[in-house]
Structures are given as structure tokens and as C-alpha cells.
Amino acid sequence: MLSKLFAVILLATAASAHMKITSPIPYGASSLNNSPLFGNASDFPCKQRDGVYDLEGASNVYAQGSTQKLAFLGSTVHGGGSCQVSVTTDAQPDKNSVWKVIKSIEGGCPAKGQIGNMGEDASAIDPFTYDFTIPKELESGNYTLAWTWFNKVGGVREMYMNCAPVTVTGSGGSKDFMNTLPDMFVANIDGHGCATPDDKDVLFPDPGNDVDKFNGATEAFAPAICTGTSTGVASAAPTNGGSGSAPTGSPAQPTQASVPGGVFITKPPASQPAATQPAVSKPVASQPAASQPAVSQPVVTSAPVASPPAATSAAAPPPAPSSGSNASSGSSPSGGFAAGTACSSEGQWNCIGGTHFQRCASGSWSAPQAVAGGTSCQSGQAENLKMVAKRGMKSMRHAVRMRA
């Protein structure tokens, strides 16, 4: 009896907290609660439920190339996190639907500058809104739009997903354009093999061309932790769907506890071998280039990365090792450079003692950042950052190319 009562209370708490979108107007607004997806993926995608795709008067008509608003209801923001806006041509998406990203927000979503929550009122209007652009190349027609969110802090790493009907208008666009967009990132639910790290704003493996990056109350970015060769994207259908150990209606389970550490492995486009994919700097379309913050993304290939030539390393010798590790105070981990130190090897990465990394960007070294839990990097400077996955597995080395 007590166990049943506890389950009811826990479910009610999950349903009355957290966040949901108000713009675009979602499908099934009357039955959409603020809770995350179930850990067993039984309600993936779009929080499957009775009436999940009921319009209830929802109509979001957007012109090609137009800028739209992403807005939310709720106050349990979990210190922010990272969000994506994706679309599919399926009118009623299922587990096999293919989602394509049109906007990525790394850090500060759905709230900026928050250490924890802004309260416990599920009906409170989130004061933070975000812009996303309907690509002018996207063919006119009907789509389903998804907002996905990976929380930064809280007892469990979760995935949130709300869906909305969208009609794109205009005379341009191409059917093939969708194929050029990256797949939606999926993590923290069964069947996708990826977990987001604790107390970090996750860096998406392929965020696309339209990216905003916000520094939160604490600047802490890290890639996802994935096992095997799982892509962690929506086009890789879950293997156990609703047959997981958690019954339908149960709260999300801490899936990251069962996911060994690893480095995210992404599938290269079929038209280009993995070994030949170049590192590309992708500016954010919605911001001027001069004010655009650096956005570093991991892209994994199977090719090992050679150590940089001796001449390259000699061009920018590291300063004397410091006993401190706080870059903001002018010191850096041993083998690292203090933030702002001039550098000439533009785009080079520097792994510091296997525990931290930094990059030469715009002529100066960035502040050192800690690697994700369960991983380490290969010390020294190189064009690519080589990561090593640990934690209960045989060490696996993967060449990880971080792209701005």
C-alpha cells in the first residue's frame, strides 16, 4: 500500500514540475505536462499519451527565413542546460521518425545564469525566450517541430521533448535540404546508449549551422558520454521501446548509472569517408560574426590523430607550471596556458595532464576546462583532441575532432 502511495506521489510531482513549451503552440496542450520523457523511452517521441497529436486549435504558420520565438512555462529549470529545435516531415512521429536539427542552444536553456531552479511553480511564465530561424532552404509544407532539453543539474540526467505542428510557407526551398541537416541528439533514455554528464551543459556532437552558446552561472561544457558505436540520434530507433523495466507512467530512471564512460561516436555522411571530413568553423546565423562566442563541438572519427610536429609545439612553449587550476585567477593547470595568453597555432587543442583542455582561438588560449567524467585526454598540443574512455571498460582511444 505504501509503495503504491509513494508511486502516485512521485508521479504527481513529476507531472507538476519542470518545463514545457508555449511557443510554438504544442500538440495536445491540455494533456501535456511539464515532466521529462520516461527513462524506458515508452513515451518517446513527443511524450506519447492519449491525444498526443490533437491540434486543439494549435496553428504555427512560419515563413521561410523567418525568425520565431521559443518560450516556456515552468520554473524548475535545473540550472539551464542545452536545447535543440528539430523538425520531421511525419505528421504523427513515432520511434522510427527522422528528426533534423534547425537550431542548437548550448548552455543557458531554458534559463540563463541559474545555479538551480527559479521556483516550483509549474504555471509560472519563464522570463527567458530564445530565437530560432526557419531555414529559407526548407521546402514549404507541413512539419512536426520538436523542442528537446537536457538538464544541467538535478538528481537525474533527463531528456525533455515537446512537439508542435508547423506549416512552412514560401516559394523556395528544396526536398533535399533536410538531408543536409544534422540528426537530433537523443540521450538519457533506453535504447540510445548516451548519457549527458552531471553538472555540465552538454555539447552536441553536431549542432548544425545555427548555434547559440550561453555561459551560465558556472561555465561548464562537456560532450555526451556514449557507449559502443551508438549515434545517440533520433534516426537510431530504440531497441526496447516500451518494454523497459520502468512501467508506463513511472518517472524517468537514472539511465546514466548504467551507461559506462565513453566518447561520443557519430556517423559521417555516406557521401564522405570519416577520415576525410574537415573541421569546419560554423558561425551562428542569428548573430554577427564579431560577437559570436566560440562553439566547440566533438566529432568522432575512427582515424587516429598524429601528434603535432615538434616545430608546432615549439612555436608556443607553455609558461612555467602553476600550482593552481583556476584560470580566472590567472593561473592554469600544469602544462596549460593562462586564459588570454597569446598563441599562433590557431585552432590547436592543448590537453593538460589528461584532465583539462583548452584551445587556441582568435589569437589567444581559452580558459582550461575539465574533461567529462570517466574520460581523459592525451597530453600535449594537437590539431585534434584525443580522448580516452575509462570507468569499468577496456581503454578505448578515439580521435575526437572538436569543431568550432
Q: Are residues 102 and 216 in the same domain?
A: yes
Question: Does one domain contain both 323 and 358?
Answer: yes
302 and 155, same structural domain? no
Q: DSSP E strands: which ranges in 288-389?
A: 297-301, 349-352, 356-361, 364-365, 369-370, 375-377, 380-382, 385-389
pLDDT averaged per 10 residues, the chain (length 404): 38 55 96 94 97 96 97 86 96 97 95 77 86 97 97 88 97 93 96 90 95 81 77 43 34 34 34 39 40 41 40 40 36 73 82 83 77 75 71 39 40
Same domain, 281 and 235: no
Measured CA to CA, the distance from residue 376 to residue 352 in angstroms comes to 10
136: cell is 529559407
pLDDT at 332: 53
Residue 268 lies in a domain: no
- The dihedral over CA atoms of 380, 386, 388, 394, expressed in degrees to the nearest 10, equals -120
CA angle 179, 213, 205 (to 5 degrees): 40
Instruction: Give me the pLDDT at residue 12, please.
Output: 38
Residues 239 and 117 grouped into a single domain = yes
Total number of domains in the chain: 2
The parent domain of residue 314 ranges over 274-403
43: domain CATH number? 2.70.50.70
Confirm whether 264 is domain-assigned. no
**Residue 55 DSSP one-character state:** -
Q: How far is CA 99 from CA 93, 143, 366, in A?
A: 9, 10, 33
With respect to residue 194, please indicate whether it lies within any of the assigned structural domains: yes
For the full predicted model, state whether its pTM sits above 0.75.
no
**According to the model, what pLDDT value does residue 356 have?**
83
pLDDT at 346: 75
User: How many Å apart are CA 206 and CA 224, to the nearest integer?
Assistant: 11
pLDDT score recorded for residue 139: 96
Alpha helices (H) along 245-378: 310-315
Give every CB contact of residue 97 below 8 A, 6+ residues apart in sequence.
45, 88, 90, 144, 234
Residues 166 and 144 sit within 8 Å (Cβ to Cβ):
yes
φ, ψ of residue 313 in degrees (nearest 5): -65, -35
For residue 101, tell me if it sits in a domain. Answer: yes
Residue 266 belongs to some domain of the structure: no
Q: Is residue 269 part of a domain?
A: no
- The per-residue pLDDT for 168 is 97
**Residue of 22, 47, 17, 46 whose CA lies nearest to 34:** 17
Together in a domain, 175 and 298:
no
Measured CA to CA in angstroms, residue 376 lies from 237, 250, 373, 387, 390 at distances of: 30, 35, 8, 6, 8
